[in-house]
């Protein structure tokens, strides 16, 4: 017996597809069978399983558990909750791995599977190997058991373990009908101050707005609540709550790299000289700020699994991405957790004078584009980046090749990289003023044109 996955579902960081089309119950069963075999052959025997609020998630969870059991692995079912709650369960319950069933911030018709082993992320070549194992039917057989372990209350206790802020902030929390809701409702009862929780009901159809805080249009309700209730700031989460978005008291977005600059300050007070990692899309202002605080800034590749692996390698206490994935090893476990990052933001604002608005005001004003995406086929996207790099080097440009091409000039920078998850090239431009931004964007467009890429931005 064997099972072949639709090749479009085996992505760099997870397995994800369109429910009933590219992703079915048979896939869930095969993922359980294959991942269970991998864990068992590594000497493990227990895998934690969690799922999000999508309508297809309970069915997928049942099939996944069957697959794990058929491979002779015991399943520890922690139920509906955030992806980071599942990660926490792996550590807290001493499991050998974990599988989270989630479509993250994808539309309701999608779902997927994020996996981790107890000692490292599971991605890239691991996922490709799982696909090959399934296609070959190379599975162990056995009779595993399954048990249900409620973990949410323990997770909330752990979120608050080191909480030391005393300022009674007024905070709006936008759960976006994702799985953050039940956790946030428990959490705010135990926090000082006044709290307004928006859309805490878990509903996989996302009736109010799409749960992706990196797109400003999804923060309209949060901004309105902050204005109406006179909040100090607002927090928002994506569908599976592993990413954080924030707005200050004036409703201005505090972007992922700006959040990291704030969160780094208390960490570096505790751990002077610590290495703080950010992805290649982050502002130069962030790297300068980390250095100013006495830390060691490290620019790394975009992708939560890649960042986690790098953190482990360099013993970093804190890392983050523009996308709102924030990873604390300091007083936490090293995984990305939007809700925990929110708690740490409350603590940091309390320590740094009590006003997120003032912290935003103090940041250098940069002019930048949002993330730009240009259509490019799977077989061309990496080749385009290689061609651009060759031309830039020949011209003597200052280029960082960590993840694509990041070109630095005296008045700003631009980035071009191939997406690991879609058939697009991703770009970003940042400068000190509008004129410089337009000049740098012109450089980027010229490079794209030279490699035959239409400089037309495609939607997310």
50 in Cβ contact with 81 (< 8 Å): yes
Find the helix or strand (DSSP H, E) in which 441 lies. Answer: helix 434-450
- First CA to last CA distance, the chain: 38
Find the helix or strand (DSSP H, E) in which 326 lies. Answer: strand 326-328
Strands 405-409, 318-320: pairing is unpaired
Q: Give catalytic residues, as residue numbers.
A: 104
261 in Cβ contact with 292 (< 8 Å): no
Which position has the token pair 């000190």? 432
Of 172, 171, 173, 166, the closest CA to residue 192 belongs to: 166
368 in Cβ contact with 210 (< 8 Å): no
Burial string for 261-298 (b: 16+ CB within 10 Å, else e) reads bbbbbbbbeebeebbbbbbbbbbbbbbebbeebebebb
**Phi, psi values for residue 413, rounded to 5°:** -155, 160
Q: Residue 416's CB: how many other CB atoms inside 10 A? A: 25
């Amino acid at each position: 017996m064997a099972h072949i996955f639709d090749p479009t579902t085996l992505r760099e960081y997870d397995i994800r597809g369109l429910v009933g089309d590219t992703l079915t119950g048979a896939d869930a069963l095969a993922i359980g069978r294959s991942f269970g075999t991998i864990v068992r052959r590594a000497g493990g025997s227990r895998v934690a399983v969690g799922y999000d609020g999508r309508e297809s998630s309970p069915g997928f969870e049942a099939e996944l558990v069957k697959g794990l059991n058929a491979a002779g692995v015991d399943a520890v079912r922690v139920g509906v909750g955030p992806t980071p709650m599942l990660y926490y369960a792996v550590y807290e319950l001493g499991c050998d791995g974990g599988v989270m069933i989630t479509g993250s911030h994808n539309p309701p018709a999608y779902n997927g599977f994020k996996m981790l082993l107890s000692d490292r992320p599971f991605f890239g070549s691991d996922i490709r190997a799982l696909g090959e194992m399934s296609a070959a039917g190379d599975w162990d057989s056995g009779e595993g058991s399954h048990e249900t372990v409620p973990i949410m209350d323990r997770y909330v206790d752990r979120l608050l373990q080191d909480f030391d802020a005393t300022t009674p902030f007024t905070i709006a929390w936008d759960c976006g009908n994702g799985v953050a809701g039940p956790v946030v409702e428990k959490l705010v009862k135990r926090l000082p101050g006044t709290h307004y929780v928006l859309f805490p009901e878990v509903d996989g159809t996302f009736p109010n707005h799409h749960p992706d805080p990196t797109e400003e249009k999804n923060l309209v309700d949060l901004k309105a609540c902050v204005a109406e209730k006179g909040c100090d700031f607002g927090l928002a989460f994506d569908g599976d709550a592993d990413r954080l978005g924030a707005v200050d008291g004036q409703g201005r977005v505090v972007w992922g790299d700006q959040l990291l600059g704030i969160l780094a300050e208390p960490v570096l007070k505790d751990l002077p000289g610590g290495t703080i990692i950010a992805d290649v899309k982050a502002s130069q202002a962030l790297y300068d700020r980390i250095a100013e605080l006495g830390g060691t800034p490290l620019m790394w590749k975009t992708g939560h699994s890649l960042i986690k692996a790098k953190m482990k390698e360099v013993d970093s206490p804190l890392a983050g991405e523009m996308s709102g994935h924030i990873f604390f090893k300091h007083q936490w476990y090293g995984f990305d957790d939007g809700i925990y990052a929110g708690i740490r933001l409350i603590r940091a604002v309390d320590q740094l004078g009590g006003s997120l608005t003032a912290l935003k005001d103090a940041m250098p004003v940069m002019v930048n584009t949002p993330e730009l995406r240009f259509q490019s086929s799977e077989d061309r996207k990496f080749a385009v980046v290689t061609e651009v790099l060759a031309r830039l080097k020949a011209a003597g440009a200052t280029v960082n090749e960590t993840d694509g091409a990041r070109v630095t000039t005296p008045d700003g920078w631009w980035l071009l990289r191939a997406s690991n998850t879609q058939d697009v090239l991703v770009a970003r431009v940042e400068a000190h003023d509008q004129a410089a931004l337009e000049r740098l964007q012109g450089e980027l467009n010229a490079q794209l044109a030279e490699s035959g890429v239409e400089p037309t931005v495609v939607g997310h």
